[in-house]
Structure 1
Amino acid sequence: MARDASIRVVLADDNLIVREGVRALLLIAGDIEVVGVAGDYDELVAGADALTPQVVVTDIRMPPNFTDEGIRAARLIRKQYPGTGVVILSQYDEPEYAISLLSEGAAGYAYLLKDGVAEGDQLARAVREVSAGGSMLDPRIVNALTKPVTDGGSLSDSDERLLQMVAEGRPMKSIAVAINSTAEAVSDAVEHLFLQLAQQASSGTQSALQRLRLLHRAIVDREEQGESLSRMLPGGLAQKLREQGVKPGETERLTVTVLMSDIRAYSTIAEVADPSVLAGQLHEHRAEMNHALLGENGTVMQFVGDAVMAVFGAPFPQADQCERAVAAAEAMHARQAELNARWAAAGLPPFHLGIGVSTGDVAAALLGSDERLEYSVVGDAVNLAQRLQQWAEGGQTVLSDPTFAALSPPPHAERLEPALVKGRQTPVGAHRLGTALVAT
């Protein structure tokens, strides 16, 4: 297969010999290119950020703590660059690792055991599968997930309840109130419970080992909660959750600046493009747009197809939110122009962006269900930004009147005659920045 059609992979393992062996297996496939390697969590995250691979292949346990750095890095990379495939290579066949990996869905994930990757083309097949959004599990993991525990290491119902409350991080006094006891009695019960689990684990009781692992993981998760939230949620929201205790469905009224971008004539491009090649272009596009927005402290809300939405002024107010939004739009056009120049050399079609920016009041909240929550802003400013981007040709940004009025000094812009937009009964005034590159 031609080199330019190769699947781009970043490979991570702290063991140099293992890493180079896996690299050799990948190169044999012919359609896979290892574009970068990493030996720890930070190197993996930085490598994925700089190289924007289509797939990450990583060990579970790496420096600095040798716990589950590979899984946590994979989740962060998927959060920053949706669509990136992940192949976890592990020497551990405990099912809880696979459960942790797949807790948010199996699409784009594979979990393989290291001692089996050299058999046939299992590793290459996994890379191809996750690059296309599929998934793969080692058969031994499937067996472990479906095999019932029958080793006789069960706890009483009261001990199970006690263990659960300890794992939740509840203080002894709180547990005592819940079970109608005293803090001293609870402390003694917890000590006895841990001794019982330790004795069972020492004798090889699998369920006791699993409970101790899960308890340890719960404690580590609490200690890392702030760091994990910061990686998984939009900028600043984790801090707000910790400091102010924002509850799901609880709304906050804010004045924000909303930015919406869209690729002009994307449907026409998609009609004739190879889907896998187009997916690679879209992956690179999203990564560059993400950098541009974060560079101006914008909050990236979502990627939907070829569209990008971001807000400035949420979850925390920004006095210069309009200036930052306009600067981010300029950076997005500039970064896309650099991408287009590189794509031209490979014979790929360019993307040209139309961007709309609107300022106004919104309601911000964590919305969704118990199973899935996301940070959302709701209001006319959101709808208007989407309509204004439709007035922008490739390379242009259209600003609402309130956004333009807040800029100091005002940029050179074309004043658009007030016109109706879908869903509004009164005409909308706007200003257009930039020179058109292509017709919409």
Structure 2
Amino acid sequence: MGLKVVVAEDSYLIREGLRSLLSGQDELDLVAAVSTLPELLAAVRRHAPDVVVTDVRMPPGDSDEGVRAAESFAREYPELGVVVLSQYVEPEWALRLFDPSAVRRAYLLKERVGDVEHLGAAIRAVAGGGSMLDPAVVQALVGAQVKHERSPLSRLTPREKQVLGLMATGLSNAAIAGRLVLTERAVEKHITSVLSKLDLDPEDGQIHRRVRAVLAYLSAVEG
């Protein structure tokens, strides 16, 4: 028996595409595919899934239903992982999704869902208690803050900014080292420097906390 997954997406073509992708993965068990927020809530109650993959906008309001569902699940089903899909980079939604009290969250752009390995990695990450943030969202958040001269992000070197972006997406130190062609020891030094410059705890080694810490920081300076 694989991880039980519920999909919520109002677009028929995308919903069926997700059904096809996930049904082909032996470690995943797609138990329901729905199109509205009420149907999603009912499917979670009925099937008790391990992970929900949901569009951020759905009927009845077509606004932020996916994020509101994640906020509700954090209270009612704290062990439930949620992967939110969005067509655009929306920093506000990402910041809400990764509220400091939330875990088991991923925020991906819809253009990436055709990559079954990427989507599967996000599902497995949230099911295991971790988090994942689409690199494009990280780049938008970091890029917006670097423009502010008083932002501590301006203290970072170009390499440290690269490391920060990869760290926030949920990559391990080893994965970051591979991506940047560095040793793990060099990556550890960069991360320690980044967290120090951003006044974040360098001893926090949990990936989902690192994601939330970066987002919380960016939220504070954005305000």
- Classify the TM-score, shorter chain: 0.5 to 0.7
* Equivalent residue number for residue 70 of structure 1: 66
* Equivalent residue number for residue 53 of structure 1: 49
Residue 63 of structure 1 aligns to a residue whose secondary structure is coil
Q: Report 1:354-393 matches (<5 A).
A: none
Q: Which digits, 9 at most, give the CA deviation of each residue in 1:19-58, with x for residues without a partner? A: 1101111122211011012211111111101111000100
* Equivalent residue number for residue 13 of structure 2: 17
* Equivalent residue number for residue 136 of structure 2: 140
**Displaced runs of 4 or more, over 3 A:** 149-152
Residue 144 of structure 2 aligns to a residue whose secondary structure is coil
- Counterparts in 2 of 1:143 and 1:53: CA distance versus 1, 3 Å: same
Q: Report 1:320-359 matches (<5 A).
A: none
Question: What is the letter of the counterpart of residue 7 of structure 1?
Answer: L
Q: Does 1:35 align with 2:61?
A: no
Q: Report 1:161-200 matches (<5 A).
A: none
* TM-score, normalised by the number of residues in structure 2: 0.63
Question: What is the letter of the counterpart of residue 78 of structure 2?
Answer: P
CA distance in 1, matches of 2:101, 2:25: 27
Contact 2:74/2:102 (CA < 8 Å) preserved in 1? no
Residue 58 of structure 1 aligns to a residue whose secondary structure is strand
Question: What is the letter of the counterpart of residue 112 of structure 2?
Answer: G
* Equivalent residue number for residue 90 of structure 1: 86
Cα RMSD of the aligned pairs, angstroms, is: 1.8
- Percent sequence identity is 44
Question: What is the letter of the counterpart of residue 66 of structure 2?
Answer: G
CA distance in 1, matches of 2:121, 2:102: 16
Question: What is the letter of the counterpart of residue 91 of structure 1?
Answer: Q
2:100 to 97, 104, 116: 104
Question: What is the letter of the counterpart of residue 17 of structure 1?
Answer: L
* Equivalent residue number for residue 80 of structure 1: 76
Higher helix share: 2
Count of aligned pairs between the two proteins: 148
Q: Does 1:127 align with 2:148?
A: no
* Equivalent residue number for residue 311 of structure 1: none
CA distance in 1, matches of 2:18, 2:130: 21
1:117 to 113, 120, 128: 113
CA distance in 2, matches of 1:12, 1:119: 18
Residue 121 of structure 1 aligns to a residue whose secondary structure is helix
* Equivalent residue number for residue 168 of structure 1: none
Residue 29 of structure 1 aligns to a residue whose secondary structure is coil
Higher strand share: 1
Q: Report 1:258-407 matches (<5 A).
A: none
Question: What is the letter of the counterpart of residue 128 of structure 1?
Answer: R
Is there any run of 5+ residues in structure 2 with no aligned partner, and where? Answer: 149-223
Q: Which digits, 9 at most, give the CA deviation of each residue in 1:96-130, with x for residues without a partner? A: 11111111345200011010122350001111110
Shift of 1:83: 0.7
Question: What is the letter of the counterpart of residue 132 of structure 1?
Answer: G
Contact 1:48/1:77 (CA < 8 Å) preserved in 2? no
Shift of 1:151: 8.5
CA distance in 1, matches of 2:113, 2:9: 14
Q: Which digits, 9 at most, give the CA deviation of each residue in 1:340-378, with x for residues without a partner? A: xxxxxxxxxxxxxxxxxxxxxxxxxxxxxxxxxxxxxxx
CA distance in 1, matches of 2:77, 2:116: 30
Contact 1:45/1:77 (CA < 8 Å) preserved in 2? no
Contact 1:106/1:135 (CA < 8 Å) preserved in 2? no
Structure number with bigger Rg: 1
Is there any run of 5+ residues in structure 1 with no aligned partner, and where? Answer: 153-440
Greater RCO structure (CA 8 Å; 6+ sep): 2
CA distance in 2, matches of 1:120, 1:85: 17
Question: What is the letter of the counterpart of residue 86 of structure 1?
Answer: V
* TM-score, normalised by the number of residues in structure 1: 0.32
Shift of 1:90: 0.9
